[in-house]
Structure 1
């Protein structure tokens, strides 16, 4: 997206209640009126509808349902996240592409969005079922001045942002299953993948990938996942605007990320624990080939899951086989 297109979208969004003249737009953008007309024509191809009246100019009538690079920019209230942005009808994986862009020097805030992924992935190289247009599949680049040991905090922060947006936009009650899954009830609706390039004393970049099931119906999930996965539409019995959800996620992430950098992890921890799946409930888990029982108490600042054992001591779990839904 060129800076000119971004400025045009911003101007039209601010004045969508009235007509704006081609002359005024050309002056604001330092373009010829012919160049402005070509930009408007491109927006029409994306599905925007305008009323054009001689001596008055252009007035936005409606925006398209289909998500695109232009529609994402329209009304996006962030300062730097999503600016720049890359949109693709199809990619193997937004995560792979964003990592390549980061390695090539892309700036913090680049967001890569795909309408569908042919090789979406989650943690531990698990497949993420995203070869459809029913969800949001996107990744973004961060370049924080943090130690590598703090990177798990950003996964936890991202989970709280998703939970907040889902709760506010859908009235559903999401929960966060440690460390990176969003659930509605006991079914997965979103996942987060955080990858980084770092040295011992600092992070070069982080790429955070998000997959969120939105408008898929039950038929969208194959036999491997249909009993474990769901979508916002299935749970709420209505469809949702993908653009609106993406813009809300980016806006809230930018706010919480900046708050975290200034004030630390304490508020993130509180937010996470307010959504934590099975907080204060008993679980069975396996570590070092031994089976244990304990009660989930929350998370530690380093991202570990805090579990109270039978002798009332608190154990930190960094990696464990946890029976979230049934006995191990």
Structure 2
């Protein structure tokens, strides 16, 4: 742990109590001048650290909006998901960055950037990622599974996001396979990418973009995109990431270690935005109206066509659109 991380951890540990410069100096084995420099640097990062003469330092308010390793990993009750966080000011794409370092870091490493300049979504689409407006992150995992089992992890991620938001009071749903919906508009997209050999996975990168604060959207997406703030949910970005890490690790360990798909599938069905509804399946620019029946054991969508035939649809093949809008 770097010295600055130790400084903020010590202050977080102290809660509402002040820690003097002398206490920090002795605890961390650095000079009081070094403590002062680190405190100032943390203030520049956005930490509201109060200082009182002869008392010391303490946090004046909870750092809810700073997506640093210290805030996310602090007392996080997970074994490995989110225990290592790389927090960037800007990057082309968190998924691309994650793929560059995927072989060099441990599974569970989380890449978070305040801004993406080349954010991307499924099927090559662009994902708008303005600085500070959302959560733009990629999770690197290293499951010991055959490559054909990796696509199910998109459902694990979607179930984890919707459960995390539900824990925080958000009424959200999943538009199979990888969009999270609030009030019939998209707030979150998930992009899963794989590095593998014939019989084993090297690593999986799960990219997640969540619109948090954006109020005004471009004309081309304003009818189908929204944000938590716009829908009346003023939540902490840190709390959302932490809840996601907790929920993802539960479902991930169940699937990878025990072969348990049911917990993920139950959440995907419970929070589905399309099961029981008629939707358009779009493939190669052709639209077909179908009724969504279920999600099967492999995570594929089961639909009934106009002629009554039952079909199984794989996520990589199609897009789904609602009859009267996005869902």
TM-score range, shorter chain: 0.7 to 0.9
Q: 1:143 to 1:313 in 2, by over 3 A?
A: same
Equivalents in 1 of 2:287, 2:73: separation in Å? 52
Equivalents in 2 of 1:253, 1:4: separation in Å? 30
1:67 to partner: Cα distance: 2.5
1:267 to partner: Cα distance: 0.8
Residue aligned with 2:196, SS: strand
Match for residue 241 of structure 1? 236
Q: 1:38 to 1:251 in 2, by over 3 A?
A: farther
Match for residue 144 of structure 1? 143
1:204 to partner: Cα distance: 0.2
Instruction: Give the 5 Å matches for 1:173-192.
Output: 173-192=171-190
* Aligned residue-pair number: 320
Q: Quick check: 1:92–1:120 contact (8 Å CA) kept in 2?
A: yes
Gaps of 5+ in 1: none
Match for residue 214 of structure 2? 216
Equivalents in 1 of 2:40, 2:286: separation in Å? 65
**Is 1:60 paired with 2:56?**
no
Match for residue 194 of structure 2? 196
Gaps of 5+ in 2: none
Match for residue 312 of structure 2? 316
Residue aligned with 2:311, SS: strand
TM-score after normalising by structure 1: 0.86
Residue aligned with 1:249, SS: helix
- 1:257-309 residue CA offsets vs partner (Å, 9 max, x unmatched): 23333332111111111011221223343669987654323222322112245
- 1:87-112 residue CA offsets vs partner (Å, 9 max, x unmatched): 22221111111111114x12212221
27-36 vs 140-149, which moves further: 27-36
Q: Quick check: 1:157–1:257 contact (8 Å CA) kept in 2?
A: yes
Match for residue 68 of structure 2? 69
TM-score after normalising by structure 2: 0.86
Q: Quick check: 1:155–1:194 contact (8 Å CA) kept in 2?
A: yes
Q: 1:195 to 1:111 in 2, by over 3 A?
A: same
Q: 1:265 to 1:308 in 2, by over 3 A?
A: same
Match for residue 271 of structure 1? 267
**Is 1:128 paired with 2:132?**
no
**Is 1:29 paired with 2:28?**
yes
Q: 1:303 to 1:67 in 2, by over 3 A?
A: same
Equivalents in 1 of 2:241, 2:162: separation in Å? 13
Which of the two has greater helix per residue?
1
Residue aligned with 1:234, SS: coil
Equivalents in 2 of 1:74, 1:176: separation in Å? 27
Match for residue 159 of structure 1? 158
Equivalents in 2 of 1:288, 1:70: separation in Å? 42
Q: Quick check: 1:76–1:251 contact (8 Å CA) kept in 2?
A: no
Give the RMSD, CA atoms, in angstroms: 2.8
1:315 to partner: Cα distance: 2.5
**Is 1:111 paired with 2:106?**
no
Q: Quick check: 1:49–1:63 contact (8 Å CA) kept in 2?
A: no
Q: Quick check: 2:69–2:86 contact (8 Å CA) kept in 1?
A: no
Equivalents in 2 of 1:152, 1:141: separation in Å? 14
- 1:166-224 residue CA offsets vs partner (Å, 9 max, x unmatched): 2232x33211111101111321110000001011211100111011011111x2x1111
Q: Quick check: 1:283–1:322 contact (8 Å CA) kept in 2?
A: yes
Structure 2 counterpart of 1:302, from 294, 298, 304: 298
Match for residue 93 of structure 1? 93
